[in-house]
Chain A
Amino acid sequence: MTQRVDAAVRDPVDSGGRWLLRGVRPLGGAAVDMLLDGPVLAEIGPALSAPGATVLDADGLIALPGLVDLHTHLREPGREDAETVASGTRAAALGGFTTVFAMANTEPVADTAGVVEQVWRLGRTAGHCDVRPVGAVTEGLHGARLAELGAMASSAAAVRVFSDDGNCVSDAVLMRRALEYVKAFDGVIAQHAQEPRLTENAQLNEGVVSARLGLPGWPAAAEEAIIARDALLAGHVGSRLHVCHVSTAGSVEILRWAKSKGWRVTAEVTPHHLLLTDDLAASYDPVYKVNPPLRTAADVEALRAGLADGTIDCIATDHAPHAPQDKETEWAAARPGMVGLETALSIAIMVMVEPGLLDWAGLADRMAGAPSRIGGLPQASRDVAAALRPGAVANVVLLDPAARWTVDPHAFASRSRNTPYAGRSLPGRVQATFLRGRPTVLDGKIV
């Protein structure tokens, strides 16, 4: 099911030219033709004719709106040896993403208008997908003083999501103020929920496995306590709270309760927390070290159920590239995190679509619609059905649902190889990604 376009005949103009996608199945529905004209999804229907358009044989491919990742670490500025905006956004495009939110824990920290604009511009220059910088909540991520949130919001980067990710905004007063303050520009605080005192030197989910391996435990309660506190604060001041990388069954229960109150609380879950469990740490291979840590099979099951019923709004990768020397160490010395952009969609298909927990439209909502709503992206991208109607922005990913592929870290576009899936056979392959009508990926390769 590969597309059959000679690269030489592609329209090189940035507008994307005209692309006729033959036989695509929007959101997994009936096969139709789709015409992308410049940056716009111009027409959908059977047997379209479009003189002059490049025809792409997309027979059997599923069309989804361009995916949106609320939680990406692009590492630039500061750790360009692990990832750059250019390499990270190439990885994103290959994974089917058209927008990534770049986390603020760079060096320097993205806590000023200057740094967020720099990251935003690097994204525009690279051109593989849109980069929406996340601003730090506190100066230097130190958790002591608010960063200039308004300046970042008013900057060219138009920041709406603020997070100290990597660190928890643990001071309750500071968290309350941040939640209140960003209401002025419809911002959201994305909390990395980790009670710091309960997790000093924590290495692994606290439980049977950590006890056996002699690794300091990271108790579920340290996440759940912060989520409960922040949900109460968000409810109290009527603000928007987003919870990063929810990892425990208890967190799902608390979120369900908070949503039942009508509070404006949203949450994300990573692909790895939907699949992997803490017993993988038995090898002491830090490729499985991540923060929050891998949890138990019961947690995985609760997270999948929570994502299916909407208690958890979306999937976010927490793509966290690390240089080899930061992973080829003893467990405690390794940095936490996994790359995820190039495997996220396949993992999501494996854990949610294949078992019947979500259909294609549901998956599209969890990976495109919901993150667009939370991140404040343009109205049209917030509803996945509307995003694939004529007149919508032509952000489209074409996916071969029947393909299987084997993960080869050395084939990644990411500069880093710290994937827990090396050698695994995964379902679903991104064949093409269009960003405002311009292909960023064709035939599974970067354009």
Chain B
Amino acid sequence: MIRHLLSTEDLGRDDALLVLDTAEYMATVADRSVKKLPTLRGRTVVNLFFEDSTRTRTSFEVAAKRLSADVINFSARGSSVSKGESLKDTALTLEAMGADVVVCRHPASGAPRRLAGWVRGSVVNAGDGTHEHPTQALLDAFTIRRRLGRLDGLSVTIVGDILHSRVARSNMWLLSTLGAAVTVVAPPTLVPVGIERWPVTVSYDLDAVLPKSDVVIVLRVQRERMTAAFFPTEREYTRRYGLDADRLAAMPASALVMHPGPMVRGMEIASDVADSTRSTAVEQVANGVSVRMAVLYLLLGGTREVA
């Protein structure tokens, strides 16, 4: 198993499948009356969050605690970090605390990779700028596999702000590694220059893609993009790229709708679509814990054979 989880781009197929399979086992723990394994007793997991993300931080915290690890939440807000302490000094502090795993969320792309060069423990990227969010992609893949039974050969569409999305990047690498055919859909302004080297098909027409999609991953679109002239109005975005009931009806009956959250209801996804049985939003939360347990467990030297 790899030492850090910094991106899905460099995650091989075997390692990715090992995470998913281990997560399956971890999911059974959640069904027990005592939802706890002694596996990581005495190990320290530090949640180092330079951006607020209660849901991701909580997910890692629950995952670590279910493995009996000690958890330290090191929030950038109100700490020495916000007073100008450098990432490097923070890393040295964590080192002194004896962190075995540092879970890092940071607004700057690549910050977890820099951190990995300064600490002895493992680093898990919990979302870095507009680069990657690998555990989100792993939990999405886990959710798809649980619902549809496979990933190989599926058609997965990612619609939304591809340019600024770390979820899009992590998902397209991971899902294509696992054999899915990925299509990204966005207004051309929100597709990065240089995308031609990604293992994806690019489309500007959601309606043309939906009937062939087994899974649609809907990305949040921040309203501030509008003011930067990426698209004219919210209404026009919703009309061309929003997932509403009519578009849901155009998808195959078994197709899934996924959203990494937080959603802007009425913008990229209609409320009734978000709440439909085709939406996986709720189980994604539970799956997130299982996948993050698997990641922490494997990074700290676990094998497939969980005690």
Q: Which residues of A contact B132 (CB under 8 A)?
A: 214
In the complex, the answer to whether B131 meets A214 with C-beta atoms within 8 Å is yes
B4 within 8 A of A: no
Size bracket of the A interface:
20 to 34
The stretch of B68-76, B104-112, B138-146 that contacts the partner chain: B104-112
Q: Which residues of A contact B130 (CB under 8 A)?
A: 214-216
A410 within 8 A of B: no
The closest CB in chain B to the CB of A331 belongs to B110
Q: A211-B198, A330-B87, A332-B129 are in contact. Are A217 and B113 (CB under 8 A)?
A: no
Q: Which residues of A contact B198 (CB under 8 A)?
A: 211-212
Q: Which residues of B contact A331 (CB under 8 A)?
A: 108-110, 114
The closest CB in chain B to the CB of A216 belongs to B130
In the complex, the answer to whether A211 meets B193 with C-beta atoms within 8 Å is yes
B86 within 8 A of A: yes
Could you tell me which residues of chain B, from 276 to 301, have a CB within 8 Å of some CB in chain A? Answer: none
The stretch of A75-83, A202-210, A365-373 that contacts the partner chain: A202-210
Pair count A-B, CB < 8 A = 74
Write the A191-234 contact mask toward B (1 if CB under 8 angstroms, else 0).
00000000000010011111111111101000000000000000
Q: Which residues of A contact B86 (CB under 8 A)?
A: 325, 328-329
Q: Which residues of A contact B106 (CB under 8 A)?
A: 330
In the complex, the answer to whether A330 meets B193 with C-beta atoms within 8 Å is no
A360 within 8 A of B: no
Q: Which residues of A contact B110 (CB under 8 A)?
A: 213-215, 284, 330-331
> In whole angstroms, how far apart are the Cα atoms of A212 and B195 in the complex?
8
In the complex, the answer to whether B192 meets A329 with C-beta atoms within 8 Å is no
Q: Which residues of B contact A284 (CB under 8 A)?
A: 109-111, 113-114
> In whole angstroms, how far apart are the Cα atoms of A325 and B192 in the complex?
31
In the complex, the answer to whether A217 meets B114 with C-beta atoms within 8 Å is no
In the complex, the answer to whether B193 meets A219 with C-beta atoms within 8 Å is yes
Q: Which residues of B contact A210 (CB under 8 A)?
A: 192-194
In the complex, the answer to whether A332 meets B88 with C-beta atoms within 8 Å is no
CB of A418 to closest CB in B, whole Å: 15
CB of A219 to closest CB in B, whole Å: 7
> In whole angstroms, how far apart are the Cα atoms of A219 and B193 in the complex?
9
CB of A34 to closest CB in B, whole Å: 49
Write the B186-229 contact mask toward A (1 if CB under 8 angstroms, else 0).
00000011111110000000000000000000000000000000
From B108, B166, B192, B196, give the contact of A333 (CB < 8 A): B108
From B87, B114, B166, B197, give the contact of A214 (CB < 8 A): B166
Q: Which residues of A contact B87 (CB under 8 A)?
A: 329-330, 333
Q: Which residues of B contact A207 (CB under 8 A)?
A: 193-194
From A203, A206, A215, give the contact of B193 (CB < 8 A): A206
A283 within 8 A of B: yes
Q: Which residues of B contact A217 (CB under 8 A)?
A: 192-194
B9 within 8 A of A: yes
Write the B1-34 contact mask toward A (1 if CB under 8 angstroms, else 0).
0000000010000000000000000000000000
Q: A213-B131, A214-B131, A214-B169 are in contact. Are A330 and B194 (CB under 8 A)?
A: no
Write the A325-354 contact mask toward B (1 if CB under 8 angstroms, else 0).
100111111000000000000000000000
Q: Which residues of B contact A332 (CB under 8 A)?
A: 108-109, 129
In the complex, the answer to whether B194 meets A212 with C-beta atoms within 8 Å is yes
The closest CB in chain B to the CB of A325 belongs to B86
Q: A284-B114, A329-B87, A333-B108 are in contact. Are A208 and B129 (CB under 8 A)?
A: no
> In whole angstroms, how far apart are the Cα atoms of A331 and B109 in the complex?
7
CB of A44 to closest CB in B, whole Å: 53
> In whole angstroms, how far apart are the Cα atoms of A214 and B130 in the complex?
5
> In whole angstroms, how far apart are the Cα atoms of A217 and B155 in the complex?
30
In the complex, the answer to whether A206 meets B194 with C-beta atoms within 8 Å is yes
> In whole angstroms, how far apart are the Cα atoms of A211 and B130 in the complex?
9
Q: Which residues of A contact B196 (CB under 8 A)?
A: 208
The closest CB in chain B to the CB of A207 belongs to B194
Could you tell me which residues of chain B, from 128 to 158, have a CB within 8 Å of some CB in chain A? Answer: 128-132
Q: A208-B197, A212-B197, A214-B129 are in contact. Are A330 and B111 (CB under 8 A)?
A: yes
CB of A56 to closest CB in B, whole Å: 45
> In whole angstroms, how far apart are the Cα atoms of A203 and B192 in the complex?
14
CB of A54 to closest CB in B, whole Å: 49
From B9, B114, B194, give the contact of A329 (CB < 8 A): B114
CB of B276 to closest CB in A, whole Å: 31
> In whole angstroms, how far apart are the Cα atoms of A444 and B129 in the complex?
45
Q: Which of B86, B110, B169, B194 has the most CB of A within 10 A?
A: B110
> In whole angstroms, how far apart are the Cα atoms of A203 and B198 in the complex?
20
The closest CB in chain A to the CB of B195 belongs to A211
Q: Which residues of A contact B113 (CB under 8 A)?
A: 283-284
In the complex, the answer to whether A329 meets B109 with C-beta atoms within 8 Å is no
> In whole angstroms, how far apart are the Cα atoms of A216 and B166 in the complex?
13
Q: Which residues of B contact A203 (CB under 8 A)?
A: 109
The closest CB in chain B to the CB of A215 belongs to B109
Q: Which residues of A contact B194 (CB under 8 A)?
A: 206-212, 217
> In whole angstroms, how far apart are the Cα atoms of A213 and B111 in the complex?
11
> In whole angstroms, how far apart are the Cα atoms of A203 and B109 in the complex?
10
Write the A104-128 contact mask toward B (1 if CB under 8 angstroms, else 0).
0000000000000000000000000
Write the A255-290 contact mask toward B (1 if CB under 8 angstroms, else 0).
000000000000000000000000000011100000
Q: Which residues of B contact A212 (CB under 8 A)?
A: 9, 169, 194, 197-198
CB of A283 to closest CB in B, whole Å: 7
In the complex, the answer to whether B114 meets A330 with C-beta atoms within 8 Å is yes
> In whole angstroms, how far apart are the Cα atoms of A219 and B195 in the complex?
14
Could you tell me which residues of chain A, from 9 to 62, have a CB within 8 Å of some CB in chain B? Answer: none
CB of A281 to closest CB in B, whole Å: 8
Q: Which residues of A contact B131 (CB under 8 A)?
A: 213-215
Q: Which of B109, B169, B193 has the most CB of A within 10 A?
A: B109
CB of A411 to closest CB in B, whole Å: 23
In the complex, the answer to whether B109 meets A214 with C-beta atoms within 8 Å is yes
The closest CB in chain B to the CB of A205 belongs to B194
Sample of 19 more A-B contacts, CB < 8 Å, known A206-B193, A330-B111: A209-B194, A210-B194, A211-B197, A212-B9, A212-B194, A212-B197, A213-B109, A213-B131, A214-B109, A214-B110, A214-B128, A217-B193, A219-B193, A284-B110, A284-B113, A325-B86, A329-B86, A330-B114, A331-B109
B residues sitting closer than 8 Å to A (CB atoms) are 9, 86-88, 106, 108-111, 113-114, 128-132, 166, 169, 192-198
A-B interface, 9 closest residue pairs, ranked by CB to CB distance from nearest: A284-B110, A214-B131, A211-B194, A211-B192, A214-B130, A330-B108, A208-B194, A214-B109, A330-B111
A-B contact pairs, 6 of them (CB 8 A): A208-B196, A209-B194, A210-B194, A211-B198, A213-B131, A333-B87
